[in-house]
């Protein structure tokens, strides 16, 4: 993971992470502004899209290496009932049968 502040840093971070990689706003919720960069041609679009999904005025983005996974889990907290839940959300990995 790496925090990015400009398009040149974004290009360098994508080169370092390799493709595919994930670009997302530093501050967002529910996956808004996240995208997968599959090639160099996707970098500017991902940078622009990350800004459409950001919360507040923080313009920095994060670049993460892509991880193939079988199941994604979401952590939920009900503060009124003081209850925690870890819920699976099945998402097949790309190319999975």
Pairing of strands 35-37, 21-25: antiparallel
pLDDT of residue 56: 74
Domain of 12 in residue numbering reads as 2-68
The verdict on residue 90 lying in a domain is no
> Mean pLDDT, consecutive 10-residue segments, the chain of 97 residues?
80 94 82 89 92 77 82 71 68 48
Question: How many Å separate Cα 1 from the centre of its chain?
Answer: 10
Whole-Å CA distances, 30 to 11, 37, 55: 25, 19, 11
| Number of domains present in the structure of the chain | 1
**Model pLDDT, residue 86:** 66
What pLDDT sits at residue 38?
A: 95
Residue 54 belongs to a domain with what CATH number?
Answer: 3.30.1490.20
* 29 within a domain of the structure (yes/no): yes
Whole-model pTM? 0.66
């Amino acid at each position: 993971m790496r925090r990015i502040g400009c398009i040149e840093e974004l290009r360098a971070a994508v080169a370092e992470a390799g493709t595919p990689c994930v670009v997302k706003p530093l501050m967002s919720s529910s996956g808004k502004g996240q995208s997968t960069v599959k090639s160099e041609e996707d970098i500017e679009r991902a940078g622009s899209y990350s800004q459409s999904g950001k919360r507040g005025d923080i313009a920095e983005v994060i670049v993460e290496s892509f991880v193939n996974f079988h199941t994604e889990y979401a952590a939920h907290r009900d503060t009124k009932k003081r209850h925690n839940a870890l819920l699976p959300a099945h998402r097949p990995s790309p190319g999975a049968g």
